[in-house]
Amino acid sequence: MIIIGDVLSGTWSEGEHHLGLMQEWFGHQWWTSRSVLLLLTSLFVFCPLISFKRVDSLRFTSALSVGLAVVFVVITAGVTIVKIFNGSITTPRLHPNLADQTSFLKLFTTVPVLVTAYICHHNVHPIDNELKDPTQMKSIVKTSIILCSSVYIATGFFGFLLFGDHTQDDVLANFDGDLGIPYSSLINDVVRISYCLHLMLVFPIIFFSLRLNLDGLLFPYAIPIAFDNRRFFLVTALLMSFVFLGANFVPSIWDAFQFTGATATVSVGFIFPAAVALRDTHGIATKKDRRVSWVMIILAVSSSMMAIFSDIYSFFITNNPTST
């Protein structure tokens, strides 16, 4: 939702304001502000889609969201290739700029962001429970990982090649100026609209699993949430309120990824699965499984602590420049 707010109403980065779609089209109005646009999106897009009680009901919107992500990648790649042929792209910097201790420590903050990108464990069980043929799950997971990896790699490669050192934390913010090719303004709008719609359509399936897991944590012995309308509404309203407030007050998607990646995501992706293997209530874990589990926990905890330390250090250095 943070990225949706950036695309629709704009964002600030290094003292520069990048206009959103609504502000470009209609100017600075009260209804083009971030909070109003996110409220309208929540009421008229998210609320209808998150009201479904079966993940199967979201299959068409999820498929469309994948198609829109591919559109974004194809257009970005096309623009980059055109600029390569007309010689208007400079050679990007291939190595990090380690000018001081702060820049070195910032390298470690990329780990939580990468981990966040590949965390999908919470979606596996809801999808598996509704499959007519559970044996399809392995092929579904493999296909999903290959597709996501391809989109991530292509976006990172062509995005950085296109914008170089000017690449923003949210690369969509770069599509608000002249790209140096014909129909630049139209291409900018198509790119941002396609990815914004992609995020709007992928949000419900992520929210579905989040709601299901939170309900299981809060009410472990209650009947399934799909059969309790009151509990379904309360948990949904609580989560949406939290997400809405976070999207309005978190200044940057990079900050959000750093925080969640260094805490919740590392736990979900590495610590909790390893802990389950170590607990081994069914006695099926091998010695190799236990060794791998300990390695996972040590790596997760150490990378998380390093990322959190780097964030805190960067924060104090930024707010106290005289200390350097």
Domain spans, the chain: 2-323
The one-character DSSP state at 43 is: I
User: Which backbone phi and psi does 16 adopt, to 5 degrees?
Assistant: -110, 135
The one-character DSSP state at 323 is: G
- Max Cα–Cα distance, the chain, nearest Å: 64
How would you classify residue 164: left for phi > 0, otherwise alpha for psi between -120 and 50, otherwise beta? left
The number of C-alpha atoms within 13 Å of 113 and in the hemisphere containing its C-beta is: 16
Whole-Å CA distances, 163 to 167, 176, 309: 5, 12, 29
CB count within 10 Å of CB 122 equals 14
Query: Which pLDDT tens digits describe the chain residue by residue (324 residues)?
Result: 888 888 888 776 666 667 788 888 888 888 888 899 999 999 999 999 999 998 889 989 989 999 999 999 999 999 999 999 888 887 777 777 777 666 676 777 777 777 777 777 677 878 888 888 888 888 888 888 898 889 889 988 998 898 887 887 778 777 877 888 888 889 988 998 998 999 999 999 989 988 988 898 888 889 999 899 999 999 999 999 999 998 888 767 766 777 777 777 788 778 888 888 888 877 888 888 899 999 989 988 887 887 777 767 766 665 555 544
Burial (Cβ within 10 Å: 0-12, 13-18, ≥19) of residue 2: buried
Give CA–CA dist 140/146, Å, rounded: 10
CB count within 10 Å of CB 71 equals 17
- State how beta strands 11-13 and 16-18 pair: antiparallel
Q: Give me 87's structure tokens.
A: 């010689």
CB count within 10 Å of CB 55 equals 20
Tell me how many degrees the CA angle 17-197-53 measures, rounded to the nearest 5: 130
Give CA–CA dist 313/107, Å, rounded: 13
Q: What is the per-residue pLDDT for 318?
A: 57
Asked whether 119 and 265 are in contact (CB, 8 A), the reply is yes
Contacting residues for 157 by C-beta, under 8 A, at least 6 apart = none
Q: What is the per-residue pLDDT for 197?
A: 93
Q: What is the per-residue pLDDT for 12?
A: 66
Give CA–CA dist 17/52, Å, rounded: 37
pTM (two decimals): 0.80
Asked whether 244 and 38 are in contact (CB, 8 A), the reply is yes
CB burial of 220-245 (b: ≥16 within 10 Å; e: otherwise) equals eeeeebeeeeebbeebbeebbeebbe
Q: Give me 3's structure tokens.
A: 């990225």
- Report CA Rg, the chain: 21
